[in-house]
Structure 1
Amino acid sequence: MTAARLVSTVAVPLAPGAADAPALLCRDSHRLLVQRGDAELVAFDLDSGAMMRFPAPWPRSFGAVTVSPDADSVVFAGVHALCCVDGSGAVVWEVRHGCWTGECPQLHREFAEYADDSEHGYADSGSAAYSTDGKLV
């Protein structure tokens, strides 16, 4: 049996009712507390105390997200695209794909095209990940 003990507490950056549960990402260079809300993803570096905010291109229920190894960008995997955003909110790159909603034949250009369509709220979800060196998604 292993005994657990509390070693630290950290306030979460986003209100619990308006965001996903925080996740801890351990990288070679730092430990990140990451939390996703509808309007942004926040990454708090537990070692340096730096907080990075990345504007989200669509609400959290419409896909998944991954943080780069250097925590300088994030990739949002959504119903219609993969979108890489830097800390300033600038889109670094975007790759659009066919809609994940079963019978939808559209190649959507932006979230606003299906934001109010309840069927898209239950679309399949995907994922994305960075390679260890951050050169491949």
Structure 2
Amino acid sequence: METILLTQVMGAVYGLLAVVFGAFGAHVLKKKLTPEQLNSFETGVKYQMYHAIVLLVLGFNLGFDGPMDSWIVHCFIYGTLLFSFSIYALCLSAANGKKLRALGPVTPLGGLLLVIGWTLLLYSFISSMI
């Protein structure tokens, strides 16, 4: 039950923040970021929204009857956090002339967690067919 609620809440939070950050990027940051930085920021927003939707779908459809389901959800939650939010921080810090280079390795780590989450989800589908 806890994992279902966590999945639904984080899906809703990520969806809400994706809309807020998307509007912030389109209206406020458009004047402060370079086109490349704005494109990166928008990539973070897109991936965040995609995974918000995935979390909501999983929260209402996944059985949560085994540890695999929990691993999938946690990979998506932490992967999105690391991937998207590190992009936001990198873009905003670069726009202020103080790029946080230490966050550079965080983005691919988040991406790796997202790939692992998708791989586990695929595996769970395939294994249920066998």
Q: TM-score band (shorter)?
A: under 0.3
User: Which structure carries more helix by proportion?
Assistant: 2
Higher relative CO (CA 8 A, sep ≥ 6), structure 1 or 2? 2
